[in-house]
Structure 1
């Protein structure tokens, strides 16, 4: 399991955080997700490929830098 960080634009509320968490957990139900909305940072501990996780976030409508 590795820790990956994503800069995610567009998270403005708690609902946004939950949507991002749900998207990540669809790819990896065991993922540990920490979100710092103030700095647009999403930290994920997962065994999944970084690009798969980023794509899941993008599919929710957020921009991954």
Structure 2
């Protein structure tokens, strides 16, 4: 399963690295990629959404499920 998150508050490469590391540490995550320029994270695995959001929040950023464009619903 793939989960897309919108991350806010990241301003630099260190932020990106911290969020990536936090997401990858969540049980059930197989891989996580964070894009600083778009503020998006793509997480692969069966991790719980609340656990992903909590991991990002603990690092000092905010996260929510990215909305799906209307044409892709």
Alpha-carbon RMSD? 1.6
Structure 1, unpaired ranges of 5+:
none
- Greater helix proportion: 1
Cα offset, 1:31, TM superposition: 2.5
Instruction: Give the conservation status (yes or no) of the 8 Å contact 2:16–2:35.
Output: no
Partner of 1:56: 55
CA contact (8 A) 2:28 2:46 kept: no
Q: Taking structure 2 as the reference length, what is the TM-score of the superposition?
A: 0.76
Number of aligned residue pairs: 64
Structure 2 residue ranges without an equivalent (≥5): 65-73
Larger radius of gyration: 2
